[in-house]
Amino acid sequence: MLLKRYLLLLATLTPGYIAPVAAGERAQYQIQSLEWVINSAPPFHILDGPHAGLGICDALIDVVNEHLPELASNRYVLPQTRIRQQFQRKANQCFPCMIYRPTPGETIQSEPTHFYHPHGIITTTEKARTIQARHGNPVRLASLINDRSFRFGYPDGRHYPAVQNILDQALQNEISRIAHTGENATVAILSMIKKGRIDYTLEYQILHNFDKAENAAGNLVFLPIAETQGQHVLGAIGCTNTEWGRAAIAKINQVLPLVRRHPEFLKVLGLWFNDDPEAGPYLDLLQERVWQADE
């Protein structure tokens, strides 16, 4: 204790003095660039078409890069399964649109960036009437998922934390399901619904909004599910849980208050998110659920 006090006193009296690193402490890891991995999954990332570059996560990357000009930035387009494998292999990378989890695992995450309205069912107008007649309004997912007269489709590698236990139990009963692999999986799933190859998927409403923006004559509808009614999902940036990733998240968190309020990011959020008629306008809820919650 006396030695520590002496070193602190010496530091205040001696110009240019650098205190030694205490036991258990390490010098901060320095990074030179942000290595972004993205996948073709509108409206998170939009790689082509009339809304190219206007994905939620596209805007998030752009604004983070703008506020960290001292770091180089690289962007790689990879399938979701490859991104997951590289996290497991401890590759240095950041994925901009993860579901926020405060406890690190394979990834370490930033403070929340925005929020999503809860998952629901996307299906055709015709199938929606039958689904609601059999499984309620809002739809009881635990009932629908075990109804073998409807085929469930989803992008390969996709997880739904709030209802994953329901899906896992149903998969053990060999429900009728199709997992789509490859590029543009989210949009491909919607195309399969329109063509009658599957009957419904479990998704955020923003994907339905994207489909309406791209296909004015579409016949898809979004149905809320009972299990997640009134909930919301926080989004965050996730990086590999390594020294590199922890340093990247530390840098990102420093500028996140500015990133979350950046006009370009807010503009893109406003493009894809509907207001909640019961809870209020999205940008008001964003302030309440993300900005103020972190202050």
Q: Over 80: is that where the pLDDT of 272 sits?
A: yes
Position with higher pLDDT, 185 vs 114: 114
Distance between CA 91 and CA 240 in Å, rounded? 7
CB atoms within 10 A of CB 121: 26
Distance between CA 249 and CA 194 in Å, rounded? 40
CA angle 146, 99, 179 (to 5 degrees): 40
Q: Over 70: is that where the pLDDT of 59 sits?
A: yes
Q: Could you tell me the fold of the domain covering 34-117+232-294?
A: D-Maltodextrin-Binding Protein; domain 2 (3.40.190)
pLDDT at 79: 86
pLDDT at 215: 87
Average pLDDT (70-98) is 95
Contact 256/147 with Cβ under 8 angstroms? Answer: no
Q: With bands split at pLDDT 50, 70 and 90, how would you rate the model's confidence at 167?
A: confident
pLDDT at 160: 83
pLDDT at 256: 97
Distance between CA 105 and CA 122 in Å, rounded? 31
Domain boundaries along the sequence of the chain: 34-117+232-294, 120-228
Distance between CA 177 and CA 84 in Å, rounded? 22
Q: Over 50: is that where the pLDDT of 289 sits?
A: yes
Q: Which has the closest alpha carbon to 260: 115, 87, 123, 106?
A: 115
Position with higher pLDDT, 290 vs 179: 290
Residue 133's alpha-carbon distances to 100, 127, 139, 219, in angstroms, are 34, 10, 9, 19
pLDDT tens digits, residue range 222-265? 999 999 998 999 999 999 999 999 999 999 999 999 999 999 99
Using a pLDDT cut of 90, give the percent of the chain over it: 69
- Considering the domain delimited by 120-228, tell me its CATH architecture: 3-Layer(aba) Sandwich (3.40)
- With a CB cutoff of 8 Å and minimum separation 6, the contacts of 251 are 31, 34, 68, 71
Q: Which has the closest alpha carbon to 158: 35, 37, 41?
A: 41
**Both tokens of residue 148?**
């073998």
What sign results for the dihedral spanned by CA atoms 96, 102, 105, 108? positive
- Name the residue type at position 234: L
Average pLDDT (126-140) is 97
Q: Over 50: is that where the pLDDT of 7 sits?
A: no
What sign results for the dihedral spanned by CA atoms 37, 40, 41, 45? positive
Q: With bands split at pLDDT 50, 70 and 90, how would you rate the model's confidence at 131?
A: very high
Q: Over 50: is that where the pLDDT of 18 sits?
A: no
| The two domains 34-117+232-294 and 120-228 share their CATH topology (first three levels equal) | yes
pLDDT at 175: 53
Q: With bands split at pLDDT 50, 70 and 90, how would you rate the model's confidence at 181?
A: low
Q: Over 70: is that where the pLDDT of 13 sits?
A: no
Distance between CA 278 and CA 149 in Å, rounded? 33
**Would strands 200-203 and 120-124 be described as parallel, antiparallel, or unpaired?**
antiparallel
Average pLDDT (63-78) is 97
pLDDT tens digits, residue range 20-54? 333 333 456 899 999 999 998 899 999 999 999 99
**Both tokens of residue 11?**
């530091």
pLDDT tens digits, residue range 195-212? 999 999 999 999 999 999
